[in-house]
Structure 1
Amino acid sequence: MCSSGFKAFQSKIVLSVLLRLVCICKREQPIYTTRAHVFQIDRTTKKNWVPASKQAVTVSYFYDSTRNSYRIISVDGSKVIINSTITPNMMFTKTSQKFGQWADSRANTVFGLGFSSEQQLAKFAEKFQEVKEAAKTARDKSQEKVELLSNHSQQESGRETPTGNQASSINGTDDEKIFHVGPETVLLKNENDLLKSAVEQSNSNAKNLETELQTLRENNARLVDALQESSANVESWKKQLSASKEESDTLRAKIADLEVQCNEASQEKQRNAQLGVRVQELEAELNDKEQELENLRKQAETIPILMAECESVTSKLQSAEIKNRELEGRIDVLHLDVDESRQKQGNIKGELKKFMDVLDVKLDELHEFRRGLSRLGADN
């Protein structure tokens, strides 16, 4: 009897250990994984983005079954660059065709993700909305549980209060006893009904527990067999584990080489893009030079016409110069004539002045003669 009880106890311990191992393994599992460039907002300026990873890293959604919570986790080597617990109040915003961001008040920062395509960004945003709704549902369920527990505690406290009233009524007067007899019997009847229903429920639960206990015993036996078989296969598992470790090391080395090649390929793509832009600029410059050359050709076609016009203008200019010289000669002659006329005019002015002086003298003489005649007439 003791040996059987000890074996049952041992099997229960083994079952509990296995269940704990299963819970630890299944506690937090990735539900969605993608790759993106991770950024964080500059905490000083709150405007500029600071790259948290030098290249695209793995970004995953994780679900914690024990805490019933969701997180976004990203690891770059041995450094955790994102550890954000999703709450129903969070909002994922698409700021461009390939970039999105969300704010984490617990981490006091804003995370940004740059994707290589619009489809990846849309899938990540859709998954963010789903996880946020699931977090909201989990929060509502926890609140409902808290409310049920509080209501149950209130009901228990409410059930205890009638007993106090009953004691007070028993210790009171005869009138109070008569007054409280009816409600107490009703309460006792109700409690009796509740107790009956609880006993029936407990009986049904006991039967269910017996069936569950039987199934647990069967599962326990199976787990014991599986544990014995697993202990027998530990050595083979160890060998497989060492082989898988070596294979994983080789795969990691290959992944590192592939990442280096991808980086080189991305750099070559950037260089090719820059060269393509430069080629387009040179083609545009070549088109401009060809247009200028065409314009120069058209201008060269008009050069003979311009030369003929220039020759005609030169001949006209020569004839104009000759006429100008002739006019200058005429002007010199006219200057001489003007000087002579000025000199003659001066001589005429001098002669006129002399004549005027003589005329003034004659006029004075005439005045004197007139005065003499007027005197003679007065004397006569």
Structure 2
Amino acid sequence: MGEHLLNTVNCHVFHVDPCTKKEWLPSSTQLVDVCFYHDVPRNIFRIISIENNKVLINSTVHPETTFIKSSHKFGQWTDFYSKCIYGVGFDEEVDLNKFIEYFDEVKKQAAQDIFTNSLVLLKEMQSNDSSVEQMRYENDRLKIALAQSCCNAKKWTVELQMLRNTNRRLKSAVEESIANVEKWNQHMITLKEENAQLKNKICEMERCGPTKEILEQQNSEMRARLVDALEKMAEL
């Protein structure tokens, strides 16, 4: 959007003698336009005057800038930033008074804009403060959650180690049981073989007609072996 022209007055422009710092010297050779501008992008107000491509006035109006009416047709002000002193002279006092009105109006607008900008900045700061507090709150919650997770992780590590130990013991017990079953099966096979041998001997003796004493002796031996086998099985 650039600068927006607010008002224009026609007057003589002066500046202070840089040597004496007291006397006024003419900056313009004749009546020139002195314009009030609003720099929209930068949100500032300026007074500009140019004659034959020469900048006579380039002043930023600040709320603290003071315009002094030195006489009925002459007034002056000091730029707030550059500290340059500008003077304007008019043919009629009424024209000077109009210039003062424009000047004061621009000052008020500049003050209002600064106030508005300050409110916006304050709201942004308050919003940022709220965001910071929210971030701190979330950060504290994350710290608590992290601490709880670490505690749970330690607890789970201990429980996992206990499960591993229990698993090793169960595995050892199963392996031992399997070994005992295999050993018991081997004994059963041995007993079956001995039982078969005894049956064969009994059959052979029956065919040969053994005496009663021999049968009783063999029967006792067979009982002793059976008792011994049962005791061995009991030990397993």
Coarse TM-score class (shorter-chain normalised): 0.5 to 0.7
Q: Which amino acid aligns with 1:84?
A: S
Q: How much is the aligned-residue C-alpha RMSD, in angstroms?
A: 2.1
1:132 to 101, 107, 126: 107
Instruction: Mark the CA change 1:160 to 1:116 in structure 2 (over 3 Å): closer, same or farther.
Output: same
How far did residue 171 of structure 1 move? Answer: 4.1
Structure 1 equivalent of residue 23 of structure 2: 48
The correspondence for 1:57, drawn from 32, 40, 44, is 32
CA contact (8 A) 1:29 1:63 kept: yes
The counterpart of 1:108, out of the listed 58, 77, 83, is: 83
CA contact under 8 A between 2:38 and 2:46: conserved in structure 1? yes
8 Å CA contact retained: 2:61, 2:80: no
* CA–CA separation in structure 1 for the residues paired with 2:126 and 2:99: 40
Is this contact kept in 2: 1:38–1:52, CA < 8 A? yes
Contiguous gaps of at least 5 residues in structure 2: 149-236
CA distance in 2, matches of 1:76, 1:114: 16
What amino acid sits opposite 2:133 in the alignment?
G
Which residue identity lines up with residue 94 of structure 2 in the other structure? Q
Q: How many residues align structurally?
A: 151
Select the residue among 80, 88, 91 that pairs with 2:63.
Answer: 88
Higher relative contact order (CA 8 A, sep 6+): 2
Where 2:120 maps in the other structure, the secondary structure is helix
In the aligned structure 2, how far is the partner of 1:123 from the partner of 1:98? Answer: 11
Q: Distance in 1 between matches of 2:81 and 2:128?
A: 33
Contact 1:86 1:131 in 2 (8 A): yes
2:131 to 156, 162, 169: 156
Shift of the 155–81 alpha-carbon distance from structure 1 to 2, 3 Å rule, reads: same
The correspondence for 2:54, drawn from 79, 89, 92, is 79
Matched-pair contact (CA < 8 Å) for 2:64–2:80: no
- Name the TM-score, length of structure 2 as normaliser: 0.60
1:119 aligns with 2:119: no
Normalized per residue, the structure richer in strand is 2
Cα distance in 2, alignment partners of residues 81 and 171 from structure 1: 68
- 1:34 maps to 2:9: yes
The answer for the alignment partner of 2:45 in structure 1 is 70
* Aligned-pair identity (%): 34
**1:101-130: CA deviations, max 9, x gaps?**
001143332111110101100000011000
In the alignment, the residues of structure 1 paired with residue 41 and residue 145 of structure 2 have an alpha-carbon distance, to the nearest angstrom, of 51
CA displacement at 1:172 relative to structure 2: 4.3
Which letter does structure 2 place at the counterpart of 1:156? S
Letter in 1 for 2:56: I
Query: Secondary structure of the equivalent of 1:67?
Result: coil
Deviation readout 1:261-282 (Å, 9 max, x if unpaired): xxxxxxxxxxxxxxxxxxxxxx
Structure 1, unmatched stretches of 5+, are 1-22, 174-380
Superposition misfits of 4+ residues, deviation over 4 angstroms? none
Distance 1:163 1:34 in 2: 60
Which residue does 1:3 correspond to in 2?
none
Seen in structure 2, the aligned counterparts of structure 1 residues 105 and 137 have a Cα distance that, compared at 3 Å, is closer
Higher helix share: 1
